[in-house]
Copies of this chain bind each other. A is one copy, B any other.
Amino acid sequence: MTEAQVQARREQILDATMAVFEADGLEAVSFRRVAAQLGCSYSAPYRYFASKEELLTALRARAFRWMEQAMLEALAGETGFRARLAALSRAFIDAALSHPQRYALMFFELPGTDLAQRSLELLAAKRDSLNVCTQVIAEGEAAGEVVLDCDPLTASHLLWAGAHGIVSLQIAGQFVMGRSADALVPTMIAALMRGIEREASRPVTDRQGLNG
């Protein structure tokens, strides 16, 4: 069996796993259920994933790739730093809120479960997702469209964390009195940008839309 065939089988198993997950949630994901979905024996996937943890880790990497794709597609065709940043945050929140389960899966991780930190596949997917944001900022700075008080990597960490914090709380039903991620993510991005931009480079129009 060639390497490509093995990889194809892995993808098939992940397809089935994702289907079960999206249909009936994480607690429904079991080797027996996935196998039934795929039409094979419940022990067959063990040749391709050593454990359930490994299977779920690969599934989480896939969720990160999905988010990365959504952001990249939203960026395609957008020009100018402000427009690209806006498109990025819009894509992020649209993806997250249209598939809240899949989004939550990305960050469904408890410390100490160190397989997540040993899986190169997951780590790379995480890094590449964050990198989309970092690139947009770095390009904006390179083009002279924005000047920051901090480096692009720190800035993208802040934006990424801010957006993730909002969406994560929204999905967890944490918001009170009508606040929602839809309104708060742009507010968060605007406030953060205002906070880390050099005064001179900030357009006056940023001074709006903070009341949500």
Interface residues, chain A, with chain B CB atoms under 8 Å away: 25-26, 100-101, 104-105, 107-113, 116-117, 123, 126-127, 130, 149-151, 153-154, 157-158, 160-166, 168-169, 171-177, 179, 184, 187-188, 190-196, 207, 210-212
A149 in contact with B211 (CB, 8 Å): yes
A162 contacts which of B110, B149, B162, B193 (Cβ < 8 Å)? B162
A211 contacts which of B150, B172, B175, B176 (Cβ < 8 Å)? B150
A165 contacts which of B101, B117, B162, B212 (Cβ < 8 Å)? B162
Cα A175 to Cα B123 in complex, Å, equals: 10
For A153, the chain B residues whose CB sits under 8 A away are 176-177, 179
Number of copies: 2
Q: List 27 A-B pairs, Cβ < 8 Å.
A: A100-B111, A101-B111, A104-B111, A107-B168, A108-B108, A111-B171, A116-B173, A126-B174, A130-B176, A150-B211, A151-B211, A153-B177, A157-B179, A158-B162, A158-B188, A158-B191, A161-B162, A161-B165, A161-B169, A161-B184, A162-B162, A162-B188, A168-B168, A190-B195, A191-B195, A192-B192, A196-B210
For A192, the chain B residues whose CB sits under 8 A away are 162, 188, 191-192, 195
Q: Which residue of chain B has its CB nearest to the CB of A148?
A: B210
A212 contacts which of B110, B112, B130, B154 (Cβ < 8 Å)? B154
